[in-house]
């Protein structure tokens, strides 16, 4: 019975550590050893085993408090790592500042750099700074998926209305399979990141509302090839600043030790930055588009947090 | 300044001093701290491990599992070269601080001495 109480104590503490499984197990083994030594000493002083274990856990402190302090000790990020985490946002901001977003070659080089960086470091066990890079790796697949999704949706509508999808059937079937398969893959990746820490998943999708906002702007202004150059100069500058804000917030979230401060910073910054992007690209905060961006940014924070709860519940049930 | 605050400010120096003598594991550190300070310092156990892990991530100590005298595996902490350098600088700083405090305290005749 006492062993179960200790397992529960260590289990609650372990959930707060948000470390990779190997490191987490190491910390919990060490604390378990401490509890064993303390309980043994208390039993030698005449306490019953049950009282000894309870007092040992009590003297170590509440699992929430000890877990949070250990989290802060293990998640201190050096300035260099915080800068590395913020770097992709800075680079994307530079693309806008230099009006290079329509230079396909430059964009391709940037996305390749993000992909190669992520793949190289992912193999050795992903360092915490890689998640914003991973987010940019997903930009090109997300754009392809969005295109396939819109085509498949349109073809499905045609199928219902006219009895034919309007595109070759094989292409329609392949497109549908791709759309569903990509959702499954993206979901699995999200769950994998959330297992490490849902905050990393939020940092991964942090720029997405800004990118969506910009794509809507581009679409409303005639696409990549036809645009008003003067207007674009202003919008590019403002978009670059929005990406610098993303970079600054990311660096702060990585650099601070306290989890409460990390979550609060992100919870405040995500909707504010999404609305700033909306203001830049849509011209007004009182529109359906701005509401959609706000919704996206809140989902970017809330969905990974909710998912982590579900994964933890699933693990407990499986155990 | 309360004893708790003093301990909080000196945690790094105290832990590095203890592991510089010999490699120790967490519970042993708590006991040694109490023993060597004749019970003056009672380490709050929950704050010990975060402090040790901070020192470890700063590269000042390293932890390794090895059997304790009772045969059970314990995570022993060893001081690193960087840790020894840091300890030396902390000790110098502490000595200078103590000397400075002493000079100020001695230089001022207390009200008690004047009366």
Is the Cα dihedral A250, A255, A256, A259 positive or negative? positive
Q: How far is B46 from chain A (nearest CA, A)?
A: 5
Phi, psi dihedrals of residue A59, rounded to the nearest 5°: -70, -25
Tell me, yes or no, whether A91 and A184 share the same domain: yes
Tell how far CA A107 is from the center of its chain. Answer: 22
pLDDT tens-place string over residues A142-184: 888 888 898 899 889 888 888 888 888 888 899 999 999 999 9
Which of A73, A106, A135 is the last residue before a domain boundary?
Answer: A73
Q: How far does Cα A236 stand from its chain's mean position? A: 25
Could you tell me if A146 and A130 lie in one domain?
yes
- Is the Cβ of A30 closer than 8 Å to some Cβ of chain B? yes
Cβ neighbours for A5, distance < 8 A, ≥ 6 positions apart: A53, A54, A57
Same-domain pairing of A41 and A120: no
Of the candidates A53, A73, A93, which is a domain's last residue? A73
Domain boundary, last residue among A73, A97, A115: A73
One domain, residues A83 and A24:
no
* pLDDT at site A1: 46
Residue A125 pLDDT: 76
* Residues of A whose CB is below 8 A from B43: none
- The pLDDT tens digits of the residues spanning A231-263 come to 677 788 889 999 999 999 999 999 988 888 999
What confidence score (pLDDT) does residue A174 get? 92
The shortest CB-CB distance from A33 to any of B45, B54, B74 is to: B74
> Do residues A155 and A302 both lie within one domain?
yes
Could you write out the three-class secondary structure of A168-230? Answer: CHHHHHHHHHHHHHHHHHHHHHHHHHHHHCHHHHHHHHCCHHHHHHHHHHHHHCCCCCCCCHH
Same-domain check for residues A284 and A175: yes
Domain span at A42: 2-73
Residues of chain A found within 8 Å of residue B11, distances taken between Cβ atoms: none
Q: Interface pTM (ipTM) of the complex?
A: 0.84
Does A191 share its domain with A106?
Answer: yes
Q: Flag if B75 and A38 touch (Cβ within 8 Å).
A: no
Supply the pLDDT for residue A129: 92
- Contact (CB<8Å) B25/A59: no
SS3 of A3, please? helix
| Digitized pLDDT (tens) for each residue of chain B, 115 residues in all | 566 666 666 888 999 999 999 999 999 999 999 898 888 877 788 889 999 999 998 999 999 999 998 889 999 999 999 999 999 999 998 889 888 888 888 766 666 565 5
Element (H, E) at A277: helix A259-282
Q: Does A247 touch chain B (CB under 8 A)?
A: no
Instruction: Identify the pLDDT of residue A281.
Output: 83
Q: What is the pTM (predicted TM-score) of this model?
A: 0.75
What is the dotted CATH code of the domain comprising B3-114? 1.10.10.10
Cα three-residue angle B94-B100-B103, rounded to 5 degrees = 140
Q: Do B53 and A27 touch (CB under 8 A)?
A: yes
The full set of domain ranges for chain B reads 3-114
Please indicate whether, in this complex, the C-beta atoms of B26 and A29 are within 8 angstroms of each other. no
Q: What are phi and psi of A95, to 5 degrees?
A: -55, -40
Contacts of A27 in chain B (CB under 8 A): 49, 53
- Does residue A113 share a domain with residue A200? yes
Whether residue A270 sits in one domain with residue A121: yes
Q: What span, in angstroms and rounded, lies between the C-alpha atoms of B35 and B28?
A: 10
Residue A134 distance to chain B (closest CA, Å): 25
User: Are A23 and A129 within one domain?
Assistant: no
Domain count, chain A: 2
Q: Which of B46, B54, B75 sits opposite A30 (nearest CB)?
A: B75
For residues A155 and A294, membership in a common domain is answered with yes
Parts of chain A with a pLDDT under 70: 1-3, 222-231, 315-319
How far lies A254's CA from each of A86, A258, A264, A265, B32, in Å? 9, 10, 13, 11, 36
Tokens of A148: 């396939």
Angle at A148 between CA A145 and CA A150, to 5 degrees: 105
Tally C-beta pairs within 8 A across A and B: 53
Inter-chain touch B75–A66, beta carbons under 8 Å = no
């Amino acid at each position: 019975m006492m062993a179960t109480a200790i397992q529960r104590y260590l289990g609650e503490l372990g959930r707060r550590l948000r470390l990779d499984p190997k490191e987490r197990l190491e910390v919990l083994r060490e604390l378990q050893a401490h509890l064993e030594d303390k309980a043994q000493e208390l039993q030698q002083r005449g306490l019953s085993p049950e009282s000894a274990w309870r007092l040992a856990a009590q003297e170590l402190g509440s699992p929430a408090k000890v877990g949070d302090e250990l989290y802060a000790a293990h998640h201190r990020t050096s300035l260099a790592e915080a800068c590395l985490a913020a770097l992709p946002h800075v680079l994307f901001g530079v693309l806008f500042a230099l009006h290079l977003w329509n230079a396909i070659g430059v964009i391709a080089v940037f996305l390749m750099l993000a992909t190669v960086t992520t793949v190289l470091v992912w193999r050795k066990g992903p360092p915490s700074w890689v998640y914003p890079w991973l987010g940019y790796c997903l930009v090109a697949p997300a754009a392809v998926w969005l295109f396939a999704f819109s085509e498949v949706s349109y073809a499905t509508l045609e199928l219902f209305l006219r009895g034919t999808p309007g595109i070759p059937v094989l292409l329609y079937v392949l497109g549908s399979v791709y759309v569903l398969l990509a959702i499954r893959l993206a979901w699995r990746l999200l769950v994998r990141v959330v297992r490490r820490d849902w905050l990393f998943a939020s940092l991964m999708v942090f720029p997405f509302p800004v990118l969506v906002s910009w794509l809507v702007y581009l679409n409303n202004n005639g696409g990549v090839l036809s645009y008003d150059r003067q207007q674009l100069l202003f919008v590019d500058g403002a978009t670059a600043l929005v990406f610098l804000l993303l970079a600054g917030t990311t660096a702060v979230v990585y650099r601070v030790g306290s989890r409460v401060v990390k979550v609060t910073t992100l919870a405040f910054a995500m909707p504010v930055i999404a609305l700033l992007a909306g203001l830049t690209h849509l011209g007004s905060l009182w529109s359906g588009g701005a509401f959609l961006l706000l919704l996206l940014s809140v989902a970017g924070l809330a969905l990974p947090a909710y998912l982590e709860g579900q994964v933890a519940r699933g693990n407990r049930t499986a155990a | 300044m309360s004893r708790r605050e003093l301990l909080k400010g000196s945690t790094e120096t105290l832990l590095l001093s203890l592991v510089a003598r010999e490699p120790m594991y967490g519970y042993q550190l708590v006991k040694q701290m109490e023993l060597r300070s004749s019970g003056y310092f009672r380490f709050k156990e929950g704050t010990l491990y975060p402090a040790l892990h901070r020192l470890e991530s700063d590269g000042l100590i390293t932890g390794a599992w090895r059997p304790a005298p009772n045969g059970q595996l314990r995570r022993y902490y060893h001081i690193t070269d960087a840790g020894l350098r840091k300890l030396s600088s902390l000790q110098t700083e502490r000595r200078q601080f103590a000397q400075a405090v002493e000079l100020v305290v001695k230089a001022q005749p207390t009200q008690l001495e004047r009366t």
